[in-house]
Chains A and B, each alone.
Chain A
Amino acid sequence: MTHHHHHGAPAVAVDRDAPRIALVGSPNAGKTTLFNGLTGLRAKTGNYPGVTVSRFEGAVETDTGIVVVEDLPGTYSLDPISPDEEVVATVLEEADTLAGLLVVVDATNLRRGLNLVAQVQQAGLPTTVVLTFVDELIRRGGRVDPEALGRALGTKVLPVVAGERRGVEALREVMATPSTWPAPIMPPPTEPDEVVGWAQSILKAAHFHAPDPDSRTGKLDSILLHPVLGSVIFFATMFAFFQIIFAVAAPLQTLIEEAFVALGEAARAAIGIPWLASFVADALLAGVGGVLVFLPQIALLFVLISLLEGSGYLSRAAYLMDRIMSTAGLEGRAFVALLSSVACAIPGIMATRTLPSAKDRLATMMAAPLMTCSARLPVYVLLIGLLVPNEARVGPFTLQGVIMFGLYLLGAASAMTSAWFWKRIVGRSGVGLPFYMEMPSYRLPRLRTVLISVWDACKAFLKKVTSIILITTVVLWALLSLPIRSDADLAAAGVDPTDDVAVAAYTLDNSAAAAIGRAVQPVFEPLGFDWRVNVGVISSLAAREVFVSTLGQVASASDPENPTEALANMTHQDGKRAGEKVFTPPTITALLVFFVYALQCMSTLAVMRRETGTWKWPAIAFAYLGVTAWVMAFLARVLTEALWA
């Protein structure tokens, strides 16, 4: 469930003429690890069980030149039940574009893996079997002879142990010449009961002994999958995580923030042209830099996610949640999609392709944007920082971390409620198909996989910061700085043109953005927002992080040397609250709650459009989440005011 940022389109600009080899395999068979091992950092795919959604490609250098590897979604069979399996089936039908297939089979689940091999071999393409987890099979008292397996299947069988380069290198060598791969003399049977007999005979010929149940995994599972104890541990893990975000990342964040402030001052001092100085200091350094400071939090989030995932715990979490999901009328697969949305709603929405029922798909898609995605993290950190001081504690825990945890919980609970609601509205789906998800054995997370996942998330974040966030920030800077005032204008307004601070304040206050912010004031007034917050909220429709960059610009314009304090001391300039502070606890709470619900993400809307094939559903999602956000924020404000008084 790692951050997907190459949506649908090929991940890398790979050679169109190079031979293509596709990776086929069940979820958890080690396909993604293998793909990473083959392609290095040149491509990436998500690897949450069951959620290797879109198609990913990477280039592999072999003796005969570049070979393009395509990583297909994890699938147990080629009978298309879900849209995901359909992708695999379709690719195999269009087999003429492929030079060969690599079937990745988990040796500890060889019997089931052979079913997939039997189906894949019907495609008539050169096929090689990659056998993974042979080390685990042996550790658990099982046995297999890869050579005998290869003779029985009529194909090459290559054992590859994760973390050992040898197997990957052997595979790289083999991939150079798919046209010379041995082929079975005839395809395996297709009738299910004949396939059973075929697989049994192959297993015997390969001297296969099934592994004993993993005692380590069994012991851990008896605790971690316990209905009560397991759930407690799950929530405790999550809770600890949000404590870590504040305890570990916050000091780092302060450092980066101070660096940007220093840079901003240096820029202001060095650049002679006032508007350019303002552009560099306010727009680029205060605005974009203001978002960049959250890089440590993003990195930490993905360290944790990939640790949980790599250890096999995430599948357990999905299993635990399956029970809760069923109360919302949804199956566990939907939870997998929702869980993916903690990274980003986009892979979450794409993960709904694993859902066989169109109705469940829609309901899950409508709920996915409510899960707290990584884009909300900077907004939450900023606002929580304004709400409660660093040192505030609840017992041994930081209050900031507790609030953050609460926001994630609120997001998750709201997503469930929403899914339940939409499932009702869209209508009942037929009998639910049994949710089949494999519990992989507990494994030590691979450092390489963790690093790639974190690096990838950081790269995606930086890309977002330098594209959509940068553009929006520049536009906002223009709106906040225009129209430019002449000295005569200033004098007429009673502002001393030599007083920079007064000029900045006057310009900001009479800018085009201010006009827009004031125009929507009636809408947000009940929530306690002022025009500056309004501009932030409107601009965050492009991407949530822009809210942070907008406030950064505003604060930096008012007090370049201490933007954080400027923000905390910002007061309402007009309206019935004139003179009062803007960021009071009721307003901050309302803002936080607003961000829990509002769908402020153009990319999410675009993906919804693509996945549903119509603008109707993104429009509905945008509207219902907007209205909910306003109502919930209002309620939160009223409630906080009542408690505060």
Chain B
Amino acid sequence: MGVKRAIHPQGIPGEPNAVRWVTDVDLPVGLVTKAPGTVGPLLEYGVLSKIFVERGGVWTWLAPEQSLSEHGPRIRDAVAAAVDLDGWEISEGSAELLGHIAREVLEGELASYVASHGGHITVTGSTASTLTLDFGGACEDCPAAGSTLHDRIETTVKARYPMLERVERVGGEHQGGGWLGLPVPGRGR
């Protein structure tokens, strides 16, 4: 391999035990049930309690009694090495993972964008293929909320979770609405 893989850890607000390892991954997206390399034992012996794979990263959860300062470098090396190996068993699609990704996108990458629209968007639910959002704040009355914001969120999340089929909005009569609340063909229900 020579040069080490490009990888860096990212913390997740509200999920103190979770680390999102940002790196190029060519694996199915979903919950990991069996992992190759040294990631396998970390999962088996309870250092890690849960692993997800997304497009462009691996999410790991430390078991409650473990600390990142102790295991961080080992997990990083294990993940960096394992993503190039065969032997992954992944159950494709996960409502939980989709929720995590959507929250991370809304609080990170798109946070200032959403804020610039005067809104506050929260994830209220997810299935393995759909995402339900609450467009709070000014978005409720914003005619553009239905298109610009909706599209942007969907595209961004889908880039990391390709199985996403639909983004739905809870409450409000503007559901899926386009310009002046008119229905947009091909979107929503």
A residues neighboring B (CB under 8 Å): 147-148, 151-152, 154, 184-189, 191, 193-194, 196-198, 200-202, 204-205
Q: Does B130 contact A (CB under 8 A)?
A: no
Q: Does B69 contact A (CB under 8 A)?
A: yes
B8, A205: Cβ atoms closer than 8 Å:
yes
| A148-B76 contact, Cβ under 8 Å, with A154-B10, A186-B69, A201-B6 | no
Q: Chain A residues near B112 (CB, 8 Å)?
A: 147
| A185-B6 contact, Cβ under 8 Å, with A148-B109, A154-B11, A197-B80 | no
Q: Which of A154, A189, A196, A200 contacts B76 (CB 8 A)?
A: A189
Q: Which of B5, B8, B69 contacts A152 (CB 8 A)?
A: B8
| A185-B4 contact, Cβ under 8 Å, with A148-B109, A151-B108, A205-B22 | no
Q: Chain A residues near B182 (CB, 8 Å)?
A: none
A197, B73: Cβ atoms closer than 8 Å:
no
In the assembled complex, the Cα of A184 lies from the Cα of B22 at a distance in Å of 14
| A201-B8 contact, Cβ under 8 Å, with A147-B112, A148-B109, A189-B76 | yes
Q: Which of B3, B9, B11, B19 contacts A197 (CB 8 A)?
A: B3
B10, A151: Cβ atoms closer than 8 Å:
yes
Beyond the given pairs A152-B10, A186-B76, 13 more chain A to chain B contacts, judged by CB atoms under 8 angstroms and listed by A's residue number, are A148-B109, A184-B11, A185-B11, A186-B9, A186-B68, A189-B73, A189-B76, A193-B3, A193-B4, A196-B3, A197-B4, A201-B8, A205-B22
Q: Which residue of B lies closest to A147 (CB)?
A: B112
Chain B, range 1-42, C-beta contacts under 8 Å to A: 3-11, 19, 22-23
Q: Does B118 contact A (CB under 8 A)?
A: no
Q: Chain A residues near B73 (CB, 8 Å)?
A: 186, 189
B5, A197: Cβ atoms closer than 8 Å:
yes
Q: Which of B3, B9, B80 contacts A185 (CB 8 A)?
A: B9
B4, A196: Cβ atoms closer than 8 Å:
yes
Q: Which residue of A lies closest to B109 (CB)?
A: A148
Q: Chain A residues near B23 (CB, 8 Å)?
A: 201
In the assembled complex, the Cα of A194 lies from the Cα of B4 at a distance in Å of 6
In the assembled complex, the Cα of A196 lies from the Cα of B3 at a distance in Å of 8
| A186-B6 contact, Cβ under 8 Å, with A148-B109, A154-B11, A201-B23 | no
A202, B9: Cβ atoms closer than 8 Å:
no
Which 6 residue pairs of A and B lie closest in terms of their CB atoms, listed nearest first?
Answer: A186-B72, A197-B4, A185-B11, A201-B6, A200-B6, A201-B8
Most buried by B among A189, A197, A201: A201
B residues neighboring A (CB under 8 Å): 3-11, 19, 22-23, 68-69, 72-73, 76, 80, 108-109, 112
A201, B22: Cβ atoms closer than 8 Å:
yes
In the assembled complex, the Cα of A196 lies from the Cα of B8 at a distance in Å of 11
* Distance between A281 CB and nearest chain B CB, rounded to angstroms: 70
Q: Which residue of A lies closest to B75 (CB)?
A: A186
In the assembled complex, the Cα of A184 lies from the Cα of B72 at a distance in Å of 12
Main SS of chain A's interface residues? helix
Q: Chain B residues near A189 (CB, 8 Å)?
A: 73, 76
* Distance between B116 CB and nearest chain A CB, rounded to angstroms: 12
In the assembled complex, the Cα of A202 lies from the Cα of B76 at a distance in Å of 14
In the assembled complex, the Cα of A186 lies from the Cα of B68 at a distance in Å of 7
Q: Chain B residues near A201 (CB, 8 Å)?
A: 6-8, 22-23
Q: Chain B residues near A186 (CB, 8 Å)?
A: 9, 19, 68-69, 72-73, 76
In the assembled complex, the Cα of A147 lies from the Cα of B111 at a distance in Å of 10
* Distance between B74 CB and nearest chain A CB, rounded to angstroms: 11
Q: Chain A residues near B69 (CB, 8 Å)?
A: 186
Q: Chain A residues near B19 (CB, 8 Å)?
A: 185-186
| A197-B6 contact, Cβ under 8 Å, with A148-B109, A151-B108, A186-B68 | yes
Most buried by A among B5, B8, B19, B76: B8
In the assembled complex, the Cα of A64 lies from the Cα of B90 at a distance in Å of 52
* Distance between A320 CB and nearest chain B CB, rounded to angstroms: 36
Q: Chain B residues near A154 (CB, 8 Å)?
A: 9-11
* Distance between B100 CB and nearest chain A CB, rounded to angstroms: 15
Q: List 24 A-B contacts (CB under 8 A).
A: A147-B112, A148-B109, A151-B10, A151-B108, A152-B10, A152-B22, A154-B10, A154-B11, A184-B11, A186-B68, A187-B72, A189-B73, A191-B4, A193-B4, A194-B4, A196-B3, A197-B3, A197-B4, A197-B80, A198-B7, A198-B8, A204-B6, A205-B8, A205-B10
In the assembled complex, the Cα of A197 lies from the Cα of B22 at a distance in Å of 11
In the assembled complex, the Cα of A147 lies from the Cα of B107 at a distance in Å of 12
Q: Chain B residues near A198 (CB, 8 Å)?
A: 6-8
Q: Chain A residues near B80 (CB, 8 Å)?
A: 197
In the assembled complex, the Cα of A185 lies from the Cα of B13 at a distance in Å of 11
Q: Which residue of B lies closest to A200 (CB)?
A: B6
In the assembled complex, the Cα of A189 lies from the Cα of B76 at a distance in Å of 9
In the assembled complex, the Cα of A200 lies from the Cα of B4 at a distance in Å of 10
* Distance between A143 CB and nearest chain B CB, rounded to angstroms: 16
